[in-house]
Homo-oligomer: A and B are copies of this chain.
Amino acid sequence: MARKIATPRIPKKEYEARVPRLRERLIQLQVELKAAPFPVLLVVAGVEGAGRGELINTLNGWLDPRGVETVAFHTPTDEERERPFMWRFWRSLSPRGRMGIFAGSWYTETLREEIHGAKNLTQLDHELHRIRRFEQLLADDGALILKVWLHLSKTAQHKRLHALASDERTAWRVKPDDWHHHRLYDRLGQTARRILDATHRPATPWLIVGADDERSRDLAVGQLLLTRFREHARKIKKAQSQKAKAQGTAAAPLRAAGLRRLLALPLDQQLSAADYEEKRDKWLGRLNHAVRAASAQHRSIVFVFEGWDAAGKGGAIRRLSSAIDARDYRVIPIAKPNDEEKAHHYLWRFWRHVPRAGMVTIYDRSWYGRVLVERLEGFCSEAEWKRAFTEINDFEAQLTERGIIVVKFWMHISKDEQLRRFREREDTAYKRHKIDHEDWRNRRKWHAYEVAVGDMLALTDTTFAPWHLIPANNKRHARLQILKTACKQIETALEGK
């Protein structure tokens, strides 16, 4: 059960005496937050007339505007509707070191639709489950999520609306909808309780703030920000010092079946140039048809290319994309995250490139870096990469739920073949930029990578987003198999719906 914060009436004099000190401490909080490795997300929800807007205006007045933003959501735009439900929230997340005050949030739609009574309980449960997972994922990443529910009794709500409406200077604050919601007070209250109960979790609790007294309400939320920020900053600091000490077991497999599958893959297929060219053109044509058929149904396609260094991802992507209109696809090469990306959850930079309806995104390397290079190089903690398998499955589930076809390739070559290609690259002027000391470093950890790839295959090979293992010692064979496999998965997905 969410904790309720008492908000006894505060006289104006006392309020005015307390505000300067509170403001000073909030400014201090913002200075500290600027250097903190997490964002503060303050969700403001509550009943009509409880003064969500006024509270937000007050907070904005107290805080330094350069470190805080108010986030609101209106009817989703077509750019938003064409992507998974959570996309619009991902794009509005505040980065580490900043504060977002959510005037609307991932709850708004759930609450709003309830007002119209159009939603059944199964769908509501599904939405609440999605919200829990989303908040958990952010909290796991360190975000401080403060969820405040402004409460007003039915009598108090009536009194408030009446008082505002009867003074001509404030009458404009009361909208027709407000009275409508007032009449539905009891039913809305029931729904709200259900939503609050279902999303009140240890890491992301709700706090119910009495809104009868405006001054008390605003001070309570200001105070809450201070207290929870202190606690949280301490907790994160402690967790970081422990993380530094922890020793990962990055090189031991979590599930050996994946590694066995990888090692069992035969690698040395043959394919003549003539044979290749003929078949290639046939499959390119078929792929073009499949992609256009998907587009006509407003289905998007996400291609994921993973594989050893020098496995031929670039060439395969060029072949594949030659079948697609240059205006319909984007290749997203994934290297080190930039500053903006680093200031967000690791999945943020992949969410932002999720294609619009009917479009194609090709990721040249992807979110799987989390369980490959980041796991092995210690760029994230053991808890983080272990958690990532579920987070990734969740992400891909959201994509497929929205109708996006997710096609994943692991391009596999032998260690000898890699060496041959590294040397060739060093000898070819326009290929030399493709190879650097990181490639050699990764190569020295070949076995550890095999283990990580094995776990990836075992733990993220889902029915909705299966892995395709591509033997790639022979480039022609690999490219052709990629064309074929892509075609077939897309065609099957289109038949299925």
Contacts and interface: CB of A to CB of B under 8 A. Distances in A.
Contact of A24 (B77, B284, B322, B430): B430
Contacts of A70: 326-327, 329-331
Contacts of A61: 318
Nearest to A67: B333
Contacts of A364: 65
Interface string A344-373: 000000000000100000001000000000
Interface residues of A, number: 60
Interface string A93-135: 0000000000110000000000000000000000000000000
A337 interface: no
Given A20-B428, A56-B326, A328-B72, A433 B172 contact: no
A169 B282 contact: yes
A474 B407 CA distance: 65
Number of copies: 2
Contacts of A330: 69-70
Given A322-B57, A326-B70, A327-B104, A430 B288 contact: no
Given A53-B326, A70-B326, A326-B53, A64 B285 contact: no
A285 B169 contact: yes
Interface in A387-435: 428-430, 433-434
Contacts of A104: 327
A292 B318 CA distance: 51
Contact of A433 (B27, B60, B72): B27
B285 A170 contact: yes
B288 A172 contact: yes
Interface in A55-99: 56-57, 60-61, 64-66, 69-70, 72-74, 77-79
A200 interface: no
Contacts of A14: none
A65 B289 CA distance: 26
A197 interface: no
Contacts of A57: 318, 321-322, 326
A273 interface: no
Given A57-B321, A60-B318, A72-B326, 19 more contacts: A20-B430, A23-B430, A52-B326, A54-B322, A64-B433, A65-B314, A65-B331, A65-B364, A69-B330, A70-B330, A77-B77, A77-B79, A78-B78, A78-B79, A103-B327, A104-B327, A169-B282, A170-B285, A340-B340
6 contacts: A20-B430, A24-B429, A57-B318, A57-B322, A65-B364, A72-B328
Query: What 9 A-B pairs have minimum CB-CB distances, sorted nearest first?
Result: A72-B327, A169-B281, A23-B430, A24-B430, A53-B326, A24-B429, A56-B326, A65-B333, A172-B288
Interface of A: 20, 23-24, 26-27, 31, 52-54, 56-57, 60-61, 64-66, 69-70, 72-74, 77-79, 103-104, 168-173, 281-282, 284-285, 288-289, 314, 318, 321-322, 325-331, 333, 335, 339-340, 356, 364, 428-430, 433-434
